Structure 1
Amino acid sequence: MITPVRLRAVLAALLLVSASVLGHVTRPTVHIADQHEKVELETLFPKAFGDWRLDPNLPVSIVSPDVEAMLKSLYAQTLSRTYVGPSGERIMLSIAYGGDQSDATRAHRPDVCYPAQGFDILSAEYTSIDVGGAQLPVRHMLAKLGQRYEPVTFWFIVGERVAVSGQQQKFAQLSYGLRGLIPDGMLVRVSSINPDADAGYRDQARFIADMRAAMPHPSRVRVFGSSLAG
């Protein structure tokens, strides 16, 4: 007997296969990135907002030089910053943006990249956080390397859609493709060094909500998707 959960999974898989076949027939040719003002990560993300200030002395670095070079070859732009909060808490922000949301860029998810750098993933879950009264879907992941515990919150934007899981990314890509569009893609990763994962996630949620509140509407669309731009 097929349960409702299994039925939904089968239908989703069939939809993806059908979309993939149609995608080959109607291969997309128009880049969404060419239809909008060019993305500049340095100006898209504010250097100061709310009670948060940029700490220029602590750049973010969790990947080896060879992996960093590979990421830069896949993404058009990357951005790494560390912010300091009102109580001295530090939040690391890492962004990767590509004009073509391809299978290659999807492969470099934090839950793939961190283990490749020697981190152990102690826990991972899909959840959501409150951003100005709306719920932002995210992935929480607790990574450990030696005595370093790093809670991580991340999500992806495909075109103007939030996508957290790999399946959601692929579905969004195919949905745009059926309209002849090639979506751009952005990975937003927020993390901190904190052995208390719950406290780390709370700090990150506050940071993300404050950042969104400080952004103008066009920037919110880029970073949080059109449905959560407000």
Structure 2
Amino acid sequence: MLKLFKRATLFVAATLLAFAQAEDITIFAAASLQNAVDEVNEVFIKQHPDVTILPAYDSSSNLARQINEGAPAQIFISANQNWMDYLQDNKKIDLESRANIVKNELALITHADNPAFEVTYESKEFWKELLKDTRLAVGDPDHVPVGMYAKASFEKLGVWDVVAPKVAAAQNVRAALLLVERNEANVGIVYSSDASISEKVQTVSTFPANLHDPIEYPIAMIGEQNSDMVKTYYAFLLSDDAKAIFKKYGFATP
């Protein structure tokens, strides 16, 4: 009887230890990163089977606001510096962990079945004609990074007054991509990485990089009391193995 009790005690102790070692890690990441981060997570979990990665993807603005309100994320990747600055100003991130993880480009897209065309960026007449019978699908320029980059580009070109009334403001870049994939908008602006993963759209042109701020994705851990496993996962996201996956999905790395 005593032996059975000891065995039961050892079994319970081992079970409790297994639960203690298991860990959930929540990452909030810009919508454009979804395919790449999902694959990075698959590789990481194979190496750390006791870990569960819980990703949430949306516009950087929505995610940053949720984190600021107390959402339980351990890691955040933004599609621009502004929303990471917002969290830094509110003392929500581990400042020493802030780093740029990937880079991107701004792409003008149309449906894959549409004919390609030449782009005259600085011509108001070009944009008037292009958007005459359609809207321009893009993330909301008021807060979604891809829309903010697009608006800055059009303002620098001096054509925003023509383009602005034709904008179909989407919740995030993947929502803008979907509008063009469904032919609900003839043209859209997304990141080059988004265009590269869709067989339903084609890239007409890539915006000149000097029209907007560099499209950099900063990463940071949230708070300063993160576990060793969170730090291990963070380091893996910045590793050469992860960089190879990001490049596979159309991102550039620093």
**What is the TM-score normalised by the length of structure 2?**
0.29
Task: Please state which structure has a larger fraction of its residues in strand.
Answer: 1
Task: Please state which structure has a larger fraction of its residues in helix.
Answer: 2
Question: Comparing both chains, which one has the higher relative contact order based on Cα–Cα distances under 8 Å and sequence gaps of 6 or more?
Answer: 2
Larger gyration radius, structure 1 or structure 2: 2
